[in-house]
A = this chain, B = another copy of it.
Amino acid sequence: LSSQRRAPTISEVARAAGVGRATAARTLGQYGYVSEELRNRVISAAQELGYQPNALARSVSTGRSATIGVVVADIANPFFGSFVQSITESSHEAGFSTLLLSTNEHLVEEIDAFQLLINKRVDGILVATSAQNVTETRHIQQAQSSGIPVVLIDRQVPDLDIDSVVISNRETTREAVSQLLALGHTRVGFIWGPKIKHRARYRRELTEAASHDIWTDGQRLLGYFDAYDDLTLPIDPGLVSTGEKTAESVQQEVTHMLKADNRPSAFFCTELEALIGTLRAVADCKLSIPRDVSIIGLDDTPWAEVVEPPLTTIEQPLVELGRTAASLLIQRITNTGQAPEPVKTVLQTRLIHRDSVVAPHQSRESRV
Contacts and interface: CB of A to CB of B under 8 A. Distances in A.
Number of identical monomers bound together in the oligomeric complex: 2
Contact of A145 (B1, B76, B82): B1
B102 A120 contact: no
Interface in A244-277: 247, 272-273, 276
A280 interface: yes
B302 A279 contact: no
Contact of A88 (B98, B101, B147): B101
Most buried by B among A50, A60, A116, A305: A60
Given A4-B147, A146-B52, A97 B74 contact: no
B306 A276 contact: yes
Interface residues of A, number: 62
A331 interface: no
A55 B147 contact: no
A312 to B, nearest CB: 15
Contacts of A98: 99-100
A20 interface: no
Interface in A96-120: 97-102, 115-116, 118-120
Contacts of A2: 145
A116 B102 contact: no
B119 A102 contact: no
Given A75-B84, A145-B4, A302-B247, A60 B52 contact: no
A231 interface: no
Contact of A120 (B6, B55, B247): B55
B81 A146 contact: no
A280 B305 CA distance: 8
Most buried by B among A74, A142, A307: A307
Interface string A181-201: 000000000000000000000
Contacts of A100: 84, 88, 98-100
A363 to B, nearest CB: 25
A5 B146 CA distance: 6
A218 to B, nearest CB: 24
A301 B279 CA distance: 15
A368 interface: no
A205 interface: no
Nearest to A304: B303
A190 B15 CA distance: 59
Contacts of A65: 56
A81 B89 contact: no
A339 interface: no
Q: Which 3 A-B pairs have the closest CB atoms?
A: A76-B85, A81-B81, A55-B119
23 contacts: A2-B145, A50-B146, A52-B119, A55-B119, A56-B121, A57-B60, A60-B60, A75-B75, A76-B85, A76-B86, A81-B81, A85-B102, A88-B100, A97-B101, A98-B100, A100-B100, A273-B302, A276-B303, A279-B306, A280-B305, A280-B306, A283-B308, A307-B308
